[in-house]
């Protein structure tokens, strides 16, 4: 039975991924929750409570759970947890930026290094580590038509992409494949809370269930020869600057490898 560990799995994309993977009776899904009172376990989903990716002890809590349940290998690790606060030139936010970096870049990196250092078997040959990033982390895709602002959001995703690249180099000899992904523009509480729901229709936003299906299918095809790369499993359809930077969306492949 394969083991899939999803970090940030109680809502949005994470919850949809947990449901999608659990539909396969041969997959054991471990799903983390920040709350101490997560949803009830189901046949194929077991929740690990009180795991906050922005906290230094996230990795140790997960390892404690794995040891307690005699789990010695993780086949797929997907880190979906995120935080998004809007900023402008006139209204930047030190505290929001700090939270975004801790949640979107520092926490995921430290978690993977913690798991990797715990045992050479925990993340080993044929393991896959997937960082849920965003097209907003691509410096190349930043274009004047979308303007500036949102410094912490964009830069924390760029930092995550760099850390994913570095981890891919460190873990390649073990056979661990590492990637960053833009899972798609989604109709979630996160995008609604920052006012992006007004762009849902024009931007081609999809539900988390749709994005989870595309992402999980792409992960099946991802392997070590592509480690250290950055992808949009759904292609360029929802990337606003794709045509301005990369050319006609109709001529771009699906899935699409994104530029850093």
> pLDDT tens digits for the chain (260 residues)?
899 999 999 999 999 999 999 999 999 999 999 999 999 999 899 999 999 999 999 999 999 999 999 999 999 999 998 999 999 999 999 999 999 999 999 999 999 999 999 999 999 998 999 999 999 999 999 988 788 999 999 999 999 999 999 999 999 999 999 999 999 988 888 788 887 788 788 878 889 999 999 999 999 999 999 999 999 999 999 998 999 999 999 999 999 999 99
The CATH number given to whatever domain includes residue 58 is 3.40.50.720
d(CA 23, CA 227): 27
Q: What is the pTM of this model?
A: 0.96
Q: Give the CA distances from residue 93 to residues 85, 192, 208, in Å, rounded to whole numbers and listed in that order.
A: 9, 20, 28
Number of independent structural domains in the chain: 1
Range of the domain at 173: 2-257
């Amino acid at each position: 039975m394969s083991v899939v560990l999803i970090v940030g799995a109680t809502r949005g994309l994470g919850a949809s991924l947990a449901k999608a993977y659990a539909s396969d009776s041969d997959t054991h899904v471990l799903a983390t929750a920040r709350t101490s009172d997560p949803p009830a376990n189901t046949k194929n989903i077991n929740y690990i409570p009180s795991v906050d990716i922005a906290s230094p002890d996230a990795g140790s809590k997960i390892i404690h759970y794995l040891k307690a349940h005699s789990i010695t290998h993780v086949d797929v690790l997907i880190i979906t947890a995120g935080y998004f606060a809007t900023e402008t030139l006139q209204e930047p936010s030190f505290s929001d930026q700090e939270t975004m970096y801790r949640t979107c870049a520092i926490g995921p990196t430290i978690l993977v290094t913690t798991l990797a250092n715990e045992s050479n078997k925990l993340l080993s040959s044929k393991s896959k580590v997937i960082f849920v990033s965003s097209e907003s982390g691509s410096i190349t895709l930043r274009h004047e038509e979308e303007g500036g602002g949102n410094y912490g959001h964009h830069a924390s995703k760029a930092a995550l992409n760099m850390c994913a690249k570095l981890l891919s180099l460190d873990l390649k000899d073990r056979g661990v494949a590492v990637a960053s992904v833009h899972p798609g523009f989604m109709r979630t509480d996160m995008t609604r809370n920052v006012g992006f729901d007004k762009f849902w229709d024009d931007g081609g936003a999809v539900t988390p269930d749709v994005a989870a299906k595309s992402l999980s299918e792409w992960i099946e095809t991802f392997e070590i020869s592509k480690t250290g790369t950055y992808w949009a499993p759904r292609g360029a359809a929802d990337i606003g600057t794709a045509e301005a930077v990369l050319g006609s969306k109709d001529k771009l492949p699906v899935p699409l490898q994104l530029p850093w």
